[in-house]
């Protein structure tokens, strides 16, 4: 007998995706402002005794530390979310990340408290990474598990808009500050303003999330005792039963993450030091790209809900993303402002094409009782190998004989590996209610929320 699915509560579905967007915006605002200060400020404020080149690497290393902590957050909060629910877990991650960000804004520098300053900075950065590691997967599930079955790619894509919106907000705030605050006051205290401003978004995000109900799929699994029967430590079951899917999900994320974080962080130091762009110009370029990134997100999300849409996005646009890195750096290196802004706008759309459907696509690989853990861990591990390491590797490569050519080659290689993983993801199928695999499906279910039933 065919089971008729319960009607979707559209009020809760829309409230859930709004909560996810606001929460994700805060998380990437927090991470975005740290990326800016890592490129522009941390060297002089927290590592003043080091050679400038070495200090830049040390500053980006603190940025990387936050990425390394993210899989730990995925394990901690993924387990909590799979056992006790998505909503309450997301409230904790939101509070954790927001409070830590505000504390960084109050942190004394090296001149005030010596070596304790970078030690505390790294500690706070680890906590921030743990919070973000638990945030992303929960936000994906809150949106897609509330969404109508044929619109899971759309709802997942709307949730993904929080990344460029958070980026736009963070870089936009810094742009305004750099336009009105001279360089010396900016380095001395102006960089702290965006960190303190995170408190406003934190309050808004908390208010919205408290009004969202738990997802229907989790409540159904809990009622069926699927949650109670799950392993006490979900990551154990994920590694035991779905190791291949963890690898696929991780490799799938690496490419878009690498391109995105070169775009968002490495570009600030390289564009300034090697090409001579001013900080306001670089920040404005990233803001333009973020607007295009967010504006095109619904387009890619709707494509994902069409027959064959996922394969088109993951393969075709994955290859386009890889190849586009070459003309992107060529246009930036020209020093021409018009070409610079054109390159930034086009790359914003390219990054969006594969980043938008990524979350729900990875979530579709895992059953509901380990979905938070599996999706979060895969994504965050891919984020380390892509976004966390790439700015550090790029900073090291650019001072070698390879120069920017080595950086471009590295990014192209990583991006192509990710495109191949995306193709493999759509060919090998998704998790079914029986825990089996089936060929990739077509129609509305071949979306970024492919077969997200319990």
Domain presence at residue 218: no
The pLDDT, as a whole number, for residue 234 is: 64
**76 compared with 261, residue with greater pLDDT:** 76
Least confident of 22-31, 108-117, 159-168: 22-31
CATH code of the domain in which 248 resides: 1.20.1250.20
What local confidence, expressed as pLDDT, does residue 338 receive? 95
The residues that bridge with 437 in the sheet, in sequence order, are 431
Q: What is the DSSP letter of 370?
A: G
- The pTM of the full predicted model, rounded to 2 decimals, is 0.79
% of the chain with per-residue pLDDT over 70: 88
Burial class (CB within 10 angstroms; exposed 0-12, middle 13-18, buried 19+) of 381: buried
In DSSP terms, which residues pair with 70 in a beta bridge?
Answer: none
Quote the DSSP letter at residue 439.
P
pLDDT (mean) for 227-233: 52
pLDDT category at 6 given cuts 50, 70, 90 is: low
88 has pLDDT over 50:
yes
Confidence of residue 345 (pLDDT cuts 50, 70, 90): very high
Confidence band for 99, pLDDT divided at 50, 70 and 90 = very high
pLDDT at 233: 56
Q: What does the pLDDT read at residue 437?
A: 38
pLDDT the model gives residue 7: 64
Question: Exposed (0-12), middle (13-18) or buried (19+): which is 198, by Cβ within 10 Å?
Answer: buried
pLDDT of residue 285: 92
pLDDT at 161: 87
The confidence score (pLDDT) of residue 445 equals 38
For the segment 325-340, the average pLDDT, to the nearest whole number, is 92
Domain carrying residue 118: 10-207+226-445
pLDDT in tens, 435-449: 333 333 333 333 333
Instruction: Decide if 3 is inside a domain.
Output: no
What rounded mean pLDDT belongs to the chain?
81
Q: Check whether 176 has a pLDDT greater than 80.
A: yes
Report CA 149 to chain centroid distance, whole Å. 24
Instruction: Round to whole Å and give the CA distance between 367 and 245.
Output: 12
Instruction: Tell me: pLDDT of 75 over 70.
Output: yes
Tell me whether residue 233 is in a domain. yes
Lowest mean pLDDT of 150-164, 321-335, 410-424, name the range.
Answer: 150-164
pLDDT given for residue 53 in this prediction: 67
Alpha helix ranges (H) inside 145-233: 152-160, 162-180, 183-188, 193-209, 216-223, 226-229
Taking CA atoms, 410 is separated from 73, 266, 326, 392, in Å, by: 28, 14, 11, 12
Could you tell me which of 358, 372, 378 has the C-alpha nearest to residue 297? 358
Q: Sorting pLDDT into bands at 50, 70 and 90, what band is 316?
A: confident
DSSP labels, 32-46: HHHHHHHHHTHHHHH
342 has a pLDDT exceeding 70 = yes
Mean pLDDT of 136-146: 82
Who wins on pLDDT, 53 or 447? Answer: 53
Inside any domain, residue 305: yes
* pLDDT for position 427: 67
Task: Give the count of domains, the chain.
Answer: 1
Instruction: Between 190 and 6, name the one with better pLDDT.
Output: 190
Residue 216, domain member (yes or no): no
Of residues 35 and 194, more confidence is placed in 194
Mean pLDDT (whole number) for 260-285: 85
Confidence of residue 151 (pLDDT cuts 50, 70, 90): confident
Q: Is residue 398 part of a domain?
A: yes
Helix (H) or strand (E) holding 106: helix 86-106
Q: Is residue 89 part of a domain?
A: yes
Q: Contact at 8 Å (CB) between 417 and 255?
A: yes
Q: Has residue 231 got a pLDDT over 70?
A: no
> Which residues, at least 6 apart from 405, have a Cβ–Cβ distance to it below 8 Å?
none
pLDDT digits (tens, 9 = 90+) for 393-416: 887 887 787 888 888 899 999 999
213 falls within a domain: no
So what's the pLDDT on residue 346? 94
């Amino acid at each position: 007998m065919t089971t008729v699915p319960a009607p979707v509560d559209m009020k809760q579905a829309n409230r859930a995706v709004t909560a996810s967007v606001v929460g994700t915006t805060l998380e990437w605002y927090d991470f975005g402002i740290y990326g800016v200060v890592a490129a522009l400020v941390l060297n002089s404020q927290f590592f003043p005794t080091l050679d400038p080149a070495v200090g830049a690497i040390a500053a980006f290393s603190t940025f990387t530390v936050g990425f390394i902590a993210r899989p730990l957050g995925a394990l901690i909060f993924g387990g909590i979310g799979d056992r006790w629910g998505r909503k309450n877990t997301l409230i904790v991650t939101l509070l954790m990340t927001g409070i830590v960000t505000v504390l960084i804004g109050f942190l004394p520098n090296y001149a005030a408290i010596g070596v304790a300053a970078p030690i505390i900075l790294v500690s706070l950065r680890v906590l921030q990474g743990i919070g973000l590691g638990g945030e992303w997967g929960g936000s994906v599930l809150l949106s897609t598990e509330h969404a109508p079955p044929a619109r899971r790619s759309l709802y997942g894509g709307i949730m993904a808009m929080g990344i460029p919106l958070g980026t736009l907000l963070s870089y936009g705030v810094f742009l305004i500050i750099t336009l009105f605050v001279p360089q010396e006051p900016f380095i001395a205290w102006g960089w702290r303003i965006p960190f303190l401003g995170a408190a406003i978004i934190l309050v808004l995000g908390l208010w919205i999330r408290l009004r969202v109900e738990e997802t229907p799929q989790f409540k159904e699994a809990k009622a069926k005792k699927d949650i109670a029967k799950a392993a006490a430590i979900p990551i154990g079951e994920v590694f035991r039963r779905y190791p291949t899917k963890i690898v696929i999900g991780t490799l799938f994320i690496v490419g878009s993450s690498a391109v995105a974080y070169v775009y968002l962080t490495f570009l600030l130091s390289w564009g300034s030091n090697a090409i001579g762009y001013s900080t306001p110009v670089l920040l404005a370029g990233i803001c333009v790209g973020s607007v295009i990134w967010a504006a095109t997100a619904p387009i890619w999300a709707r494509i994902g809900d069409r027959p064959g849409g996922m394969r088109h996005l993951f393969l075709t646009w994955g290859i386009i993303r890889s190849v586009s890195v070459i003309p992107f750096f060529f246009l930036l290196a020209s020093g021409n402002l018009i070409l610079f802004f054109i390159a930034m706008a086009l790359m914003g759309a390219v990054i969006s094409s594969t980043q938008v459907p990524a979350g729900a696509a990875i979530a579709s690989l895992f059953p509901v009782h380990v979905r938070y853990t599996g999706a979060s861990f895969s994504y965050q591990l891919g984020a380390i190998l892509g976004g966390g390491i790439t700015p550090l590797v790029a900073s090291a490569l650019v001072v070698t004989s390879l120069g920017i050519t080595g950086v471009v080659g590295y990014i192209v290689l990583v991006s192509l590996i990710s495109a191949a993983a995306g193709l493999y993801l759509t060919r090998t199928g998704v998790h079914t209610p029986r825990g089996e695999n089936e060929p990739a499906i077509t129609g509305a279910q071949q979306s970024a929320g492919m077969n997200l039933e319990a």
